[in-house]
Amino acid sequence: MTSYHLLPVILCGGSGTRLWPLSRETYPKQFLALGGDGVSMLQDTATRLDGLDSSIPMKPPLVVCNSAHRFLAAQQLQEAGVDGAQLVLEPAGRNTAPALTLAAFAADSQAILLAMPADHVVANAGNLHQAVKEAWPLAQDGAMVTFGIVADRPETGYGYIQKAHPIVGTGAFSIQSFEEKPSLELAHSYVASGNYLWNSGLFMVRADQWLKAMAALQPAMFQACRSAMEHSSRDMDFIRPHSETFAACPADSIDYAVMEHLPGQEELDMPARVVPLDAGWSDLGAWDALWDVLPRDASGNAHAGQTLAIDTRDSLLFSETCLVATVGVDNLVVVATADAILVADKRKTQDVKKIVAELKTQKRSLASTHRKVHRPWGWYDSIDSGERFQVKRIVVHPGAQLSLQMHHHRAEHWIVVKGTAQVTNGDRTFLLGENESTFIPLGHVHRLANPGKVPLEIIEVQSGSYLAEDDIVRFEDTYGRIAE
């Protein structure tokens, strides 16, 4: 008898455009701490199965993420105390079916995959654990199991699963049909019938069963993923599928590629099952969904950061920086970041993605990047700029270092605010303490490192004719970015 183990597969792609300006391509929503507890959505997902019934053997998670987010994902997993995770780097976004297929090829033959998007909220982890326990024997027997959310309202933004017959001895059901996002009238009838569940995007399936289904139902996708993994490479702790091969892979979701084909496909010997889940689930697709899950005051307002609401009802006020104050408004979303402010009707938050599309049309960087930019060694914040100058606040993690580099068009002046800096400036390497500084002339090879045990913070003043980030020539880099 095969001894199976559970392999959580965290699907960490996506750009979260409907949560702009907080979520952007370089730092999308799965890396944000939206609940006010300092825990990102990725970290919450990676630790969600802690305390699962010990009768289900479980391995550390496998994370499928965008190559550009690899260091950010690795750092957040480390900060959350998640050891031994594998990271598979998608060369390009191709939706969830190819992502799960890459994971299945990376897994061993005894793995039962539990696909969990990194941008979901599950308020009651205990109920999820119980649902996973219900699904475990079904997945072992070869079923494709999804988890249907018990609907508490008529929701037009979700797909629905129609239950069929109960599976004897379990809490699961066979599946009658999958329904697209309905009209409000139809959604009311679904909820009233009690036979429909929201489609959660959570799936459990044996790795070998998933690959068999993909080979039968999506052969082009299967072949592209298989070839990409056969020609993959290892980069530090990352698995890199072959980029050109994967670029030819069709894009589709797990639902459309496989799940919705299974009812009636008896020849696949892969029954489709759904386990009802009532665990305070939300996919946080837009700002109104965040308003749903955050605590609210007596007037129905949800707050995060510095906010003040007077004669305001049923609104979301979210600030990363300045005070956000409202008077005499209802059903608004107001979000303030360091470089952008969003004001939207709470009933129109699905359309926030149109702002991002327009910013891209105008070729404005606000569509994809924040003022504060994260790097594998730490982060920098561009706090001021003008003609021929730019001022940055730079924080370097303990033990980390920037690349050995030079610039053709700018000089730099570094002032240490906190910690100890190890500076390479031309042919000299030396230490700087707090309130000490150095000047990096244009064209000098240089490097900044933090040899200490506390974060290093400096102020960098750049001056020159061209100050963009592409004026960096890297000679040596701890994080393998020279080839990029």
What count of other Cβ atoms lies within 10 Å of the Cβ of residue 134? 20
How high is the mean pLDDT in each 10-residue block of the chain (484 residues)?
A: 92 90 94 85 96 95 94 94 95 94 96 96 95 96 94 88 91 91 90 92 96 95 97 89 94 91 76 94 91 95 96 97 97 96 96 96 93 93 94 97 96 97 96 97 96 97 94 92 65
Q: Among 137, 92, 130, 135, which Cα is nearest to 115's?
A: 135
Phi, psi of 169 (to 5 degrees): 80, 5
Q: Report d(CA 367, CA 263) in Å as an integer.
A: 41
What are residue 10's DSSP bridge partners? 63, 116
Would you state the pLDDT for residue 50? 96
Would you state the pLDDT for residue 1? 65
Would you state the pLDDT for residue 483? 56
Please, are residues 127 and 19 in contact by the beta-carbon 8 Å criterion?
A: no
Ordered structural domains, the chain, with CATH: 5-282 (3.90.550.10), 294-361 (no CATH), 372-476 (2.60.120.10)
Would you state the pLDDT for residue 16? 83
Complete DSSP assignment for 309-330: EES-BS-EEEESSS-EEEES-B
Would you state the pLDDT for residue 484? 55
Query: 296-328, pLDDT tens digit by residue?
Result: 999 999 999 999 999 999 999 999 999 999 999
Predicted model pTM: 0.90
